[in-house]
């Protein structure tokens, strides 16, 4: 089974595009922060880590996400992991992944959160490094998404 559920803050507004067949798709990245603590002797060390998960949504859901979700909004979604294979400049195969979002829910917007709940980690400058899907891969993901049921 290939299923993932994620909740985090959006790194920016959704980028909306269209496949060659006119199917809308939106891309973004989701910041998921984690705080860990460990004791070393008498000292407690706290460390924050933020993972940036690339997301792609197809169809009417993409248009809705683009219209209603903004940078910093809390975003809850489920979907499947999609793996892309491409060749680097030396012809070596490279692998990247992203989450093909099937469903999502409105949780809260950044403006409604208290300052302690807001993500304080900046989004990396290049979010999709190595994960830029080719047009063929976008079309393949679109076919997968077209088979999904839209709940609204």
pLDDT in tens, 53-70: 999 999 999 999 999 999
Residue 130 has pLDDT above 50, yes or no: no
Tell me the whole-structure pTM to 2 decimals: 0.69
**51 contacts: CB under 8 Å, gap ≥ 6:** 31, 32, 33, 34
> What is the pLDDT at residue 110?
57
Cα of first residue to Cα of last residue in the chain, in angstroms, is 25
- The mean predicted confidence, pLDDT, of the chain is 81
* Beta-carbon count within 10 A of 95 CB: 10
CA distances (Å), origin 104, targets 40, 41, 92, 121, 134: 40, 44, 36, 23, 25
Residue 133 has pLDDT above 70, yes or no: no
Q: Is 109 exposed, middle or buried (0-12, 13-18, 19+ CB in 10 A)?
A: middle
Q: What are the structure tokens assigned to 32, written together?
A: 């998921």
Comparing 7 with 110, the larger pLDDT belongs to 7
State the residue for tokens 């089974």: 1
Residue 16 has pLDDT above 90, yes or no: yes
* Phi–psi pair at 61, nearest 5 degrees: -60, -40
> What is the pLDDT at residue 117?
47
Residue 38 — very low, low, confident or very high, per pLDDT cuts 50/70/90?
confident
* Beta-carbon count within 10 A of 144 CB: 14
Q: For 108, how many CA atoms within 13 A lie in the half-sphere containing its CB?
A: 9
The whole-number average pLDDT for the span 114-130 is: 43
pLDDT in tens, 69-78: 999 999 999 9
Least confident of 32-36, 89-93, 143-147: 143-147
Q: Which CATH number does 4-146 carry?
A: 2.40.50.140
> What is the pLDDT at residue 106?
81
Per-domain residue ranges for the chain? 4-146
């Amino acid at each position: 089974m290939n299923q993932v559920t994620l909740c985090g803050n959006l790194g920016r507004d959704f980028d909306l595009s269209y496949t060659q067949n006119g199917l809308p798709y939106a891309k973004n990245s989701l910041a998921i922060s984690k705080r860990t603590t460990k004791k070393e002797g008498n000292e407690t060390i706290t460390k924050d880590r933020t993972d940036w998960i690339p997301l792609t949504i197809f169809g009417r859901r993409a248009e809705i996400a683009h219209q209603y979700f903004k940078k910093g909004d809390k975003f809850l979604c489920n979907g499947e992991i999609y793996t892309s294979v491409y060749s680097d400049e030396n012809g070596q195969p490279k692998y990247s992944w992203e989450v093909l979002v099937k469903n999502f829910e409105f949780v809260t917007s950044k403006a409604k959160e208290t300052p302690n709940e807001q993500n304080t980690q900046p989004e990396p400058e290049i979010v999709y490094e190595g994960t830029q899907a080719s047009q063929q891969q976008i079309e393949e993901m679109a076919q997968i998404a077209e088979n999904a049921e839209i709940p609204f």
